[in-house]
Structure 1
């Protein structure tokens, strides 16, 4: 004879009893008879063939098995509640509006497909995309203009929480033939080349400047420009160089217009992060959105050869077990 599966009512009652610390207090909170509540708990224990609670005169304590069931029940109830909210929203024709800020590279890499496929992949949600540089995105996040952003090296603290997504090494970018060969170049030697930098994208420059200061070195900056396409043209036309993540120039490298040189002694890197509000992290109702973004990122990182530098999946924020299954 098959073992009866736990019901949602039994799991909800069990969670209330554990939280209240006694069956009588939970019965009062749920506005049900203590006897009826006790029967549901016993049916749950019988169905699972294990003792979940130890009864005593002061209330109840949770067994080891009970603690496991409590944790799983909380996850299941969260999913059930999220499903009810989604169905209600769909029935009412309402859609959750989600505003997402992207770096220029990510907007180029995943933005068009996100716009094209979001309504099909994430029904009940409407995705708004905005492009910005690191400081612009952080300011917008702090001002409440975005629900989430992707940017570099923010870290968790205060009102924002960060999840590392991708490790991005900084490389020296040059015109083919400008440097003697494609071998790695030391940090000191890279600084001695004719560097062009982006004033409007200060984070990579900050990393270079801080590291140079630590070694007592001075970067040889000969040009400043506020545009990545303009910077690339400076490298191609005038033989300048620049230090940036290789992902920024993957298309130009593929076309043979630019080449990259790994920097060593020391290597430099920055970390792409998914930033959320500490007080409003993603809920399980947003799992389809996170899974959709994960798929877009997986394809983009595979395209630019960055799969090995992937640090985490967004689905792990709300459902680690499913995220682990995704990466297994």
Structure 2
């Protein structure tokens, strides 16, 4: 039985990452027929169909998903071996990073600025999505790193706690806006919240349930900008961290009221696959992410967030 070549593996990974044979071919600077031929030879070697072709592009089959996880690890190990033997030099490589939307609003710009300015050999690939979906992408080896709302490692996932941020009631600004509001008072207000599967929603509902309370949710909205606009209009309130309002000018900012009796906080941690220790560009970017998050907290730019104990 023949063995897959590194070229075939790289071409297959690119096809999955880009979701399109034409976009993958353009990225690799090869003709699309040549890329298709290499992937066809790979499928023949493995005796499995790896990609499903559709009018909108390609997606991995169940066998393709399994092989993709191995392929990512193989390519990372090869790149690491080359870097080890060629000695010190500029750090070069792609790093796929996942950030929840509220975190991206405050972290993405300074993080990318540092990488692009100081490490031109690193090509960051930023994915912004729901925390639960980012966890799935780590398990599928589509991401090397992600910030998730976790402070403990789990099977298959290594977590480095970084900070905890407080959640606030977000509502229309007014002269009589109080500085604080109790959880019991919040329970009586109409709220827009992310859908029930969203990590923020489940975390807030659990906090209210511990106090024997339930939320009055009038709409499920999985869009941070939309939640902010609804809250600012006074149509309904929202529950968000300060980072969720990052980037808004004063004219657009809704009021943020501290929730007390008790307060609600959520953890943020740097996460990666447990069987895939960080090395090379991914390890460097991980250090940059932690350092930037610490800087934002220590400078006060991350609102009421506090650093996790080392």
Tell whether 2:167 aligns with 1:170.
yes
Q: Deviations over 1:73-122 (max 9, x none)?
A: xxxxxxxxx9993571777x993322111111333323234444425423
Correspondence for 1:182 among 178, 195, 207:
178
Deviations 1:143-162 (A, max 9, x none): 11111111112631211011
Aligned residues of 1:83 and 1:285 also touching (Cα < 8 A): no
Q: Is the 8 A contact 2:232 2:252 kept in 1?
A: no
How far off its partner does 1:201 sit?
A: 6.9
- 1:192–1:284: structure 2 CA closer, same or farther, 3 Å change rule? same
Residues 226 and 94 (structure 1 numbering): CA distance in 2 closer, same or farther, change over 3 Å? Answer: closer
Number of residue-to-residue matches in the alignment? 230
Does the 8 Å CA contact 1:196/1:222 hold for their aligned counterparts?
yes
Residue by residue, what CA displacement relative to the aligned partner does 1:217-251 show, whole Å, maximum 9, x if unpaired?
Answer: 22121222231111111122234211121210244
1:203 maps to: 199
CA distance in 2, matches of 1:223, 1:130: 26
Of the three residues 237, 241, 260, the one matched with 1:241 is 237
Structure 2 equivalent of residue 8 of structure 1:
none
Q: Partner of 1:121 in structure 2?
A: 118
Unaligned runs of 5+ in 1: 1-81, 314-328
Aligned match of 1:273: 269
Corresponding residue to 1:97 among 94, 97, 110: 94
> What SS is found at the alignment partner of 1:262?
strand
After superposition, the Cα gap between the structure-2 partners of 1:253 and 1:171, relative to the gap in structure 1 and judged at 3 Å, is farther
Query: Which residues of 2 match residues 284-303 of structure 1 at below 5 A?
Result: 288-301=284-297, 302=299
Match of 2:243, SS state, is helix
For the residue of structure 1 that corresponds to 2:174, the secondary structure is coil
Q: Calculate the aligned-residue CA RMSD, in Å.
A: 3.2
Give the TM-score normalised by structure 1: 0.60
Displacement of 1:258 in angstroms is 0.8
Match among 101, 108, 118 for residue 105 of structure 2 = 108
More helix by share: 1
Residues of 1 paired with 2:230 and 2:248: CA distance? Answer: 13
Q: Does 1:149 align with 2:146?
A: yes
- Residues 106 and 181 of structure 1, relative CA distance in 2, 3 Å threshold: closer
Matching residue within 76, 83, 102 for 1:85:
83
The corresponding residue for 2:7 is none
Q: Closer, same or farther in 2 for the Cα pair 1:232/1:129, shift >3 Å?
A: same
Residues 182 and 260, structure 1, Cα contact 8 Å, conserved in 2: no
- Hey, what's the Cα distance between the residues in 2 that align with 1:242 and 1:199? 13
CA distance in 2, matches of 1:232, 1:201: 20
Q: Structure 2: 5+ residue runs without aligned partners? A: 1-79
SS at match of 2:132: helix
